[in-house]
């Protein structure tokens, strides 16, 4: 098991004093009101272990949010658990339900923790590519391929919308197809929805919570860090039916047990106002549009960015010497010579599939994006 591409590129960006548009984290601060709420919790003495499942007020706030946005009522006591970040949540869900020899479908390209998590549980990874031969570069789910991958050994499928790294978003039709496909099976769903509040152009996030046939078999994972610009706090949550959550908690209690107490209390207080997450689509769409407008003046070919805070570009039309480089080597060259760090999409495939596409993160200050665009304009 090697070092992740995110660690490699962030280290190189620091070494070369490059603008880091590689790793997915903001370079701006979260709301001072949230910081104050956490500080107040600390001063009130809320600094000892909370309940293993999470602070009740925060679980109740999460349940209320899901009910308001997606129309599904989760019981805060038995169906919501606070986790030490979304990556821990995904690992815990997999360890809770995947047994040695069980097959788990992943849709590539995918976030790089999925496969090691499955292997750690003794599961068998079944890779299904997103997109189809008739729509290269679309990164849409191909349900014929997913259906062909289902076997009696299939235990679960991991889905991710809005999608990292491609920035595509699953539609209502996609969710309905998945619901119908899984209806005659016992296959579970692990739904990575950490970018749920970053969906653009008037679209809505199609959470699996909206679909009763999916919600009944799903772990839904979301991230306070992504939503509130505090990725370093590493706090997230999982929603699942009580029977699945009981299994999840059996693992959770022994791999982290519980999560930072004052941060949980601060988040619970802050969530009383829904505006920070309700206004997030407009906040990031403006950054997306600024960044895309600048990239449109370069030789990068823009792929759609429907959700998340990522922008993928095709590098195949760039001039020598970078044109003939692999995605990974191009990103190294771009960081060292142009001063902008990106991530190769090949890092999200098990076989290193290279389609001459790289990923930028635009969760940055406007001046950071402008500096990156100024440097990229040399290409």
DSSP characters for 222-261? EEHHHHTT-GGG--EEEE--HHHHHHHHHHHHHHT----H
* Beta carbons of 333 and 10 less than 8 angstroms apart: no
Instruction: Out of 238, 253, 273, pick the residue that ends a domain.
Output: 273
Q: Summarize the confidence of residues 44-61 as an average pLDDT.
A: 98
Q: Summarize the confidence of residues 96-115 as an average pLDDT.
A: 97
Residue 324 is predicted with a pLDDT of 79
Q: Summarize the confidence of residues 15-40 as an average pLDDT.
A: 95
Domain containing residue 87: 32-273
Angle made by CA atoms 73, 257, 41, in degrees to the nearest 5: 75
Q: Which residues contact 321 (CB under 8 A, 6 or more apart)?
A: 333
pLDDT band at 320 (very low <50, low <70, confident <90, very high): low
pLDDT band at 69 (very low <50, low <70, confident <90, very high): very high
Phi-psi region of 68 (alpha: psi -120 to 50; beta: other; left: phi over 0): alpha
The chain-wide mean pLDDT, for the chain, equals 95
pLDDT band at 101 (very low <50, low <70, confident <90, very high): very high
In tens, the pLDDT along 149-208 reads 999 999 999 999 999 999 999 999 999 999 999 999 999 999 999 999 999 999 999 999
* Beta carbons of 158 and 107 less than 8 angstroms apart: yes
pTM: 0.95
Instruction: Out of 241, 273, 305, pick the residue that ends a domain.
Output: 273
- Residue in this structure with the two tokens 């990575």, named with its chain if needed: 192
Q: Summarize the confidence of residues 221-233 as an average pLDDT.
A: 97
pLDDT band at 1 (very low <50, low <70, confident <90, very high): low
- Does residue 358 share a domain with residue 310? yes
pLDDT higher at 132 or 278: 278
CATH at 315? 3.90.1150.10
pLDDT band at 74 (very low <50, low <70, confident <90, very high): very high
How far, CA to CA in Å, does 237 sit from each of 100, 129, 157, 340?
Answer: 26, 28, 19, 33
- Does residue 66 share a domain with residue 204? yes
Max Cα distance, the chain (Å): 61
Number of independent structural domains in the chain: 2
- Does residue 44 share a domain with residue 186? yes
Check pLDDT > 70 for residue 25. Answer: yes
Token pair, residue 370, equals: 């402008």
Residue 24 is predicted with a pLDDT of 87
Cβ atoms within 10 Å, residue 131 = 20
Instruction: Out of 273, 298, 330, pick the residue that ends a domain.
Output: 273
Q: Phi first, then psi: what are they for 326, rounded to 5°?
A: -65, 165
Q: Lowest-pLDDT range, 12-16, 178-182, 269-273?
A: 12-16
Residue 284 is predicted with a pLDDT of 98
Residue 34 is predicted with a pLDDT of 98
Long-range contacts of 282-290 (CB under 8 A, 24+ apart): 284/198, 284/200, 284/309, 284/362, 284/363, 285/200, 285/201, 287/362, 287/363, 287/364, 287/366, 287/369, 288/200, 288/362, 290/362, 290/366, 290/369
248-276 burial, b at 16+ Cβ within 10 Å, e below that, comes to bbebbeeebebbbbbbbbbbbbbbeeeeb
pLDDT band at 266 (very low <50, low <70, confident <90, very high): very high
- Does residue 294 share a domain with residue 259? no
Residue 5 is predicted with a pLDDT of 79
Q: Which residues contact 157 (CB under 8 A, 6 or more apart)?
A: 104, 105, 106, 107, 146, 182, 187, 188, 189, 190
pLDDT band at 7 (very low <50, low <70, confident <90, very high): confident
CA atoms within 13 A on the CB side of 357: 24
Burial (Cβ within 10 Å: 0-12, 13-18, ≥19) of residue 44: exposed
- Does residue 284 share a domain with residue 219? no
Task: Say whether the peptide bond before residue 162 is cis (omega within 30 degrees of 0).
Answer: yes
Cα–Cα distance between 270 and 272 in angstroms, integer? 5
- Name the E strands within the chain: 19-20, 80-83, 103-108, 124-129, 154-160, 188-192, 218-223, 236-239, 301-302, 310-314, 340-341, 343-344, 357-361
- Does residue 354 share a domain with residue 260? no
- Does residue 44 share a domain with residue 144? yes
Residue 49 is predicted with a pLDDT of 96
Check pLDDT > 80 for residue 76. Answer: yes
pLDDT band at 105 (very low <50, low <70, confident <90, very high): very high
Token pair, residue 324, equals: 């003939």
CATH at 129? 3.40.640.10
pLDDT band at 226 (very low <50, low <70, confident <90, very high): very high
- Does residue 329 share a domain with residue 248? no
Residue 9 is predicted with a pLDDT of 86
Q: Summarize the confidence of residues 346-352 as an average pLDDT.
A: 93
- Does residue 298 share a domain with residue 189? no
Angle between helices 32-43 and 261-270 (to 10 degrees): 130
Q: Summarize the confidence of residues 17-41 as an average pLDDT.
A: 95
- Does residue 292 share a domain with residue 145? no
- Does residue 172 share a domain with residue 260? yes
- DSSP letters spanning 112-145: TTHHHHHHHTT-EEEEEESSBTTBTT-----HHH
Angle between helices 366-376 and 280-295 (to 10 degrees): 20
- Does residue 141 share a domain with residue 15? no
């Amino acid at each position: 098991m090697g070092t992740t591409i995110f660690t490699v590129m962030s280290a190189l960006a620091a070494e070369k004093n490059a603008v880091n548009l590689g790793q997915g984290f903001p370079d701006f601060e979260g709301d001072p009101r949230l910081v104050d709420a956490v500080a107040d919790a600390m001063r009130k003495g809320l600094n000892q272990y909370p309940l293993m499942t999470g602070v009740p007020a925060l679980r109740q706030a999460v349940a209320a949010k899901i009910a308001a946005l997606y129309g599904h009522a989760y019981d805060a006591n038995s169906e919501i658990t606070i986790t030490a970040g979304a990556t821990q949540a995904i690992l815990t869900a997999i360890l809770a339900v995947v047994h040695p020899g069980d097959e788990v479908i992943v849709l590539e390209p995918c976030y790089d923790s999925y496969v090691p998590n499955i292997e750690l549980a003794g599961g068998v990874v079944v890779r299904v590519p997103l997109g189809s031969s008739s729509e290269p570069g679309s990164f849409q789910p191909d349900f014929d391929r997913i259906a062909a991958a289902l076997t009696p050994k299939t235990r679960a499928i991991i889905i991710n919308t809005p999608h990292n790294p491609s920035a595509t978003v699953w539609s209502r039709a996609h969710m309905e197809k998945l619901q119908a496909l899984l209806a005659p099976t016992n296959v579970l769903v692990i739904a990575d929805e950490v970018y749920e509040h970053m969906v653009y152009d008037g679209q809505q996030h199609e959470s699996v919570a909206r679909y009763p046939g999916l919600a009944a078999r799903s772990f839904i994972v979301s991230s306070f860090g992504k939503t509130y610009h505090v990725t370093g706090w590493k706090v997230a949550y999982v929603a699942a039916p009580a029977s699945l959550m009981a299994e999840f908690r059996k693992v959770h209690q022994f791999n982290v047990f519980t999560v930072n107490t004052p941060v949980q209390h601060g988040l619970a207080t802050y969530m009383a106002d829904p505006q920070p997450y309700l206004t997030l689509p407009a906040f990031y769409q403006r950054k997306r549009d600024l960044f895309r407008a600048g990239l449109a003046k370069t030789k990068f070919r823009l792929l759609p960015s429907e959700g998340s805070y990522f922008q993928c570009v095709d590098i195949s039309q760039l001039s020598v010497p970078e044109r003939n480089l692999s995605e990974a080597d191009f990103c190294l060259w771009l960081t060292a010579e142009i001063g902008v760090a990106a991530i190769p999409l090949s890092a999200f495939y098990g076989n290193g599939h290279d389609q001459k596409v790289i990923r930028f993160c635009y969760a940055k200050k406007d001046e950071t994006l402008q500096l990156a665009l100024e440097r990229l304009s040399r290409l």
